[in-house]
A and B are shown apart, each in its own frame.
Chain A
Amino acid sequence: MAREAVRQPLSPSVLQRIDAWRSAPVLEDWPAEPPYRRTFTLLAQHGWVDGSFPVGVLELQRSETDRRTGLFELSVRQKRAGNTLREHLIDATLTCREDALATPVRWELESRFTVARQRELPRLTYRESGCLTDGRLEVRIDGRPARRDVGPAYTCDWSLLDAVGRLRQAAMTPVSFDVLQDMTLVKRGQTLTFREDRNDRLGDASPPLRCFVQQGPGNLPYEYWVDDEGRPACVVNAFHAWLLDDEAPRRFDDQLIRLGAR
């Protein structure tokens, strides 16, 4: 039998319609203000109704803002599944400004690959640090200086998941910036805009979600679906979705087991 195409761009309601988001979060259960811990299932969607798979997990932990410095800490743990027995893990600690973009001004990042969640694959561990000094980013990879050219307004994809929570006014002015994707890829000339014409729900009884769209060269649009309290329920980027999910780590582990990846 021919597989059925989804035919429509992903959104919270489309994800639920195709049964890709079976347990939509009760947003009230998640703290809207820091400190918070948010976990997301990273879903891959092949464009088939039966073609949704968890392929990763993202865990963010945010501290309260230090009133003296105006900075906060954002801890990141990201896992992606690879071919048999392999996982790609990124651990990062960011120090961010409490500004509109949650600008990361310092970070330490380690990327590594493991087999069977234990043995670290040799020669593949990557470490970088970054620091904003006198208006310039100073980045070091394995201790050696590296270039990372961004404009004065910049952020990273993980910071944006925090920042969109503070961009909930319907009349917001579009924000322009550069993005450090996974801290390592520079995507310049991005904008973040509120989409007044678009909202969606996580079921009939839930409050409406508002949509902010990030667009720019080098990316398909990212859509951040946020509730009135600033909690991001999900992010859609064409065929990927980050779904707020307190079971995300377990769901990812289950998926790896199901696929025989361990």
Chain B
Amino acid sequence: MTEQPNILFIYTDQQHIDTIAALGCPYLQTPGMDRLVRQGTSFSQSYCPSPLCGPCRAAVYTGRMASEVGVTDNGARPEPGVPFMGEWLRKQAGYETVYMGKWHVPQYFTSNVPGFDVLFGGRGGPGALSDNSYTFAADAFLRQYDGSKPFLMALNYMQPHDICEWMRLNQDRFERLPFPDLEHELPPLPDNFDIPDPEPALVRKVRAGSPSVQGGWDERHWRYYRWAYHRHVEMVDAEIGRVLDALDASPHRENTLILFSSDHGEGLAHHQMTRKSFLYEEAAKVPLIVSWPGRLPQDVRDDHTLVTGVDLVPTMCDFAGIDPPPKARGLSLRPLLENGQALARTFVTSEIADNRGQMLRSSRYKYIAYLDDPTEQLFDLKDDPGETRNLAGDAACASVLQDHRDMHRQWVGSLEVSPRVAHRWYESRAQAVG
């Protein structure tokens, strides 16, 4: 067995991938995450397995797709018998497994996270103050832990998810900016602010339910929302910085692998979307940084490798010297991180809306389809990273579209979907697209 590192898994909630200053975002300061960037490998083609909290967490913590775990919407209970990250690392590798923060599979906050000793969770309030309590607990644990066993600490911050609360409290269009001196700080609208056409009905429905539509936001309101979102990210960044300080001051720094990611992204005004529950890049992509100074290369930017949240459990297992749980979907990133060895994969996927929406991202293209909706989407992410031109109806892309349909069909067919999940993909797609 290889030497088992401690594992610190830092997981934010609803963080847009382009919200780290060291990776080029000019609208905020993130000294904490910048440290991780400098000390690790950052992946820019990183996707969540489902852009909604509960399903994504069920997938990431098991290494299987949410539809397989039976958690395809918030509030759903996982299938019994599917091992979770904490259970697997504790039983198979003897790890001390501790947990802070939000869970949401299905309870938001609970002391019953499978395989973990929950040190502190939230109490139903917005996350900013709960996050600070998690940090106090993590800080103390890291400084005091005796190292008798390797530890797995899952630190699940709530921020920047509080943007949901913020939007409801700032829903009505305002005559003047609530804090006028912020006018010069407001970020511009994103380049892909416009709505792609055609667009699946479910995406339009998600947009219509947003506070931005309910409140009739104008350009300045959108920009104020973008400003506020970046402050939310800065809040959690300060917590992360403090945890890294505590780790640096502890005896465990040299033997601790850090994985940093988020459950899903945030619309952030791209395509006039807010929040999540859709499959455009802004919700489907998430930050992913892996860091182990002294053991893994540092300050590496990987802009090519397709990675997904279901890779995290296999990666942890690989470093811990154990096999991943049976039927885990993801791949270990360890060979890539250590030796630059390419992953044996041609696409990653994400699923949403009770398994009614699915996304397949290949090296160049992204294909999106919704159950019972004839409007498919195909984007050339090389030439159109903002997903502004839907190529699904472009005759010149017919073979690309068919290739992606085929890959998607094979992928769906390979899933061992929970019996509780409606699984009508083949029949319905066949009827819809002929």
* Residues of chain A at the chain B interface (Cβ within 8 Å): 5-10, 42, 44-48, 53, 55-56, 80-86, 88, 90, 111, 113, 121, 123-126, 141-142, 144, 146-147, 181-182, 184-187, 193, 213, 215, 217-221, 237-240, 259, 261
Contacts and interface: CB of A to CB of B under 8 A. Distances in A.
Interface stretch (B82-90, B159-167, B326-334): B159-167
A126 B132 CA distance: 13
Given A46-B126, A53-B125, A7 B120 contact: no
B214 A5 contact: yes
Contacts of A184: 135-136, 139, 242
A82 B119 CA distance: 10
Interface string B148-183: 000000000000001011111111100000110110
Given A6-B169, A45-B165, A141-B143, A55 B120 contact: no
B122 interface: yes
Nearest to B125: A44
A37 to B, nearest CB: 22
A135 to B, nearest CB: 22
B213 interface: no
Contacts of A126: 136, 139-140, 143
B355 to A, nearest CB: 25
B109 A88 contact: no
Nearest to A126: B140
A81 B126 CA distance: 12
Nearest to B142: A123
B80 interface: no
A222 B238 CA distance: 17
Interface stretch (B227-235, B338-346, B394-402, B424-432): B227-235
Contact of B129 (A7, A80, A84, A213): A80
A14 to B, nearest CB: 9
18 contacts: A6-B168, A45-B165, A48-B168, A53-B125, A80-B123, A83-B123, A113-B119, A124-B120, A126-B139, A141-B139, A181-B132, A181-B238, A184-B242, A185-B239, A185-B242, A238-B169, A240-B128, A259-B124
Contact of B165 (A56, A185, A239): A239
Interface in B166-218: 166-172, 178-179, 181-182, 211, 214-215
Contacts of B42: none
Contacts of A144: 249
B168 A215 contact: no
Interface string B29-40: 100000000000
B130 interface: yes
B169 A240 contact: no
B254 interface: no
Given A7-B171, A47-B171, 9 more contacts: A8-B170, A55-B125, A81-B123, A121-B120, A123-B141, A213-B179, A220-B235, A238-B126, A240-B128
B363 interface: no
Contact of A215 (B119, B123, B129, B179): B179
Contacts, number: 170
Contact of B133 (A53, A82, A123, A219): A82
A259 B121 CA distance: 14
Interface of B: 28-29, 109-111, 118-126, 128-130, 132-133, 135-137, 139-141, 143-145, 162, 164-172, 178-179, 181-182, 211, 214-215, 228, 231-232, 234-235, 237-239, 242, 245, 249
Given A9-B178, A47-B169, A86 B110 contact: no
Contacts of A141: 139, 143, 249
Given A187-B238, A217-B29, A220-B231, A5 B211 contact: yes
B112 to A, nearest CB: 9
Contacts of B128: 237-240
A158 to B, nearest CB: 13
A83 to B, nearest CB: 3
Contact of A82 (B123, B135, B170, B245): B123
B149 to A, nearest CB: 13
A125 B141 CA distance: 8
Contact of B235 (A48, A55, A218, A259): A218
A80 to B, nearest CB: 5
Nearest to A187: B238
Contact of A124 (B110, B137, B166, B238): B137
